[in-house]
Amino acid sequence: MEATVAERGQITLPKAVRDALGLTKGMKLKVELEGGRIILRKDVSDALSRLRGLIKLPPGKTTDDVMRELRGRAPGDPYPPPGKTRRNPKAK
């Protein structure tokens, strides 16, 4: 595949390359030089920042509550008050 450098230094990546990498309009690429080669990499840090804030917690629930539900009691957590203990469905 080939790309031509335009008057202002711009190149157009072939559609097959854009499709294979999932590149869309406005996406940032990292440009690196390695010996006599130009390396283009997708900038994934932007993708992570765009995801921030998409998941909303139910009212009255904290991230600590969700983490305890997923992982169980963390070291240093206070023991739950009586009547608030979780039962293990696999325990007999």
For the segment 32-72, what is each residue's pLDDT rounded down to a tens digit? Answer: 999 999 998 887 776 667 777 788 888 999 888 888 888 88
CB-hemisphere CA count at 13 Å for 82?
0
Report if pTM > 0.75.
no
Give, for 66, the enclosing helix (H) or strand (E).
helix 63-71
d(CA 52, CA 54): 6
Secondary structure (3-state) at 4? coil
Direct distance between the N- and C-terminal alpha carbons of the chain, in angstroms, rounded to an integer:
64
pLDDT at position 46, please? 65
pLDDT at position 42, please? 82
Taking residues 70-78, report their average pLDDT: 79
**What topology is assigned to 1-73 in CATH?**
Pemi-like Protein 1; Chain: D (2.10.260)
pLDDT at position 82, please? 65
Task: Assess whether pLDDT exceeds 60 at residue 1.
Answer: yes
Distances (CA, A) of 75 to 16, 61, 68, 71: 51, 20, 11, 11
